[in-house]
């Protein structure tokens, strides 16, 4: 038996037929183009997304964003670096700013040295208040110790006074007894 292939122009031949030829070609051609366009859209979206991420990374490496009690500050960095990009300095002390020298220099060069001066003034005032509270506590402790000593001395004095009063009373009784004897002798001799 001879092998007979599909007839040219039939549906299964792979060749366009007069009734469906152009339509099938159009579907095949548009599908390929549609696939290429869809792939290009994805590639362009990825490239644009990477460009936006790169821009954000560059901006972050070039700026400090500092949150303070007065608001949010955006300051330029002296050089590109990933460190100290975002900082919440609301609870920082002067020592914390000293540990972040680039951020401190950016604040000074940006005209925000008053923020650092206010922080120093608040720290000085807090130190003075702490010193006052400690001095008042020490004064209360010393006053309590003096009061305890005074009570102790007063107790000793009152004990001594009681003993002296007891001795005086005993001597007074002896003198009264002697006077009474003398009076009795004098009256008896008369």
Q: What does the domain layout of the chain look like in residue ranges?
A: 59-114
66 vs 12, higher pLDDT: 66
pLDDT in tens, 116-159: 888 888 888 888 888 787 877 777 777 777 777 777 776 766 66
Q: Give this prediction's pTM.
A: 0.50
Band of the pLDDT at 16, cuts 50, 70, 90? Answer: low
Band of the pLDDT at 188, cuts 50, 70, 90? Answer: low
Inter-residue long-range contacts of 89-93, CB under 8 Å, 24+ positions, other chains counted: 92/119, 93/119, 93/123
- Contact in structure between 89 and 66 (CB atoms under 8 Å): yes
Q: How many angstroms separate the first and last alpha carbons of the chain?
A: 191
pLDDT in tens, 62-119: 999 999 888 899 999 988 888 888 989 888 888 888 898 888 899 899 888 888 888 8
Question: Can you say whether the dihedral through the CA atoms of 6, 9, 13, 19 is positive or negative?
Answer: negative
| pLDDT score at 171 | 77
Task: Answer whether residue 10 shows pLDDT above 70.
Answer: no
| pLDDT score at 1 | 47
Task: Answer whether residue 55 shows pLDDT above 70.
Answer: yes
Query: Cα–Cα distances in Å, from 50 out to 53, 62, 63, 85, 86?
Result: 5, 18, 20, 20, 22
Band of the pLDDT at 54, cuts 50, 70, 90? Answer: very high
Whole-angstrom Cα distance, residue 173 to residue 92?
81
**Distance of alpha carbon 52 from the chain centroid:** 32
8-37: average pLDDT: 53
72: CB partners within 8 A, 6+ apart? 65, 66
């Amino acid at each position: 038996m001879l092998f007979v292939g599909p007839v040219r122009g039939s549906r299964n031949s792979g060749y366009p037929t007069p009734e469906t030829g152009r339509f099938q070609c159009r579907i095949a051609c548009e599908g390929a183009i549609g696939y290429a366009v869809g792939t290009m859209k994805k590639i362009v979206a990825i490239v644009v997304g990477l460009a936006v991420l790169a821009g954000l990374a560059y901006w972050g490496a070039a700026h400090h964003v500092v949150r303070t009690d007065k608001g949010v500050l955006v300051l330029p960095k002296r050089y590109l670096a990933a460190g100290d990009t975002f900082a919440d300095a609301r609870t920082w002390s002067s020592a914390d700013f000293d540990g972040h020298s680039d951020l401190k220099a950016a604040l000074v060069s940006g005209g925000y040295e008053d923020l650092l001066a206010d922080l120093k003034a608040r720290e000085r005032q807090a130190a003075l208040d702490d010193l006052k509270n400690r001095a008042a506590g020490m004064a209360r402790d010393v006053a309590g110790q003096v009061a305890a000593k005074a009570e102790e001395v007063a107790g000793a004095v009152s004990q001594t006074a009681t003993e002296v009063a007891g001795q005086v009373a005993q001597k007074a009784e002896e003198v009264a007894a002697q006077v009474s004897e003398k009076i009795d002798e004098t009256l008896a001799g008369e």
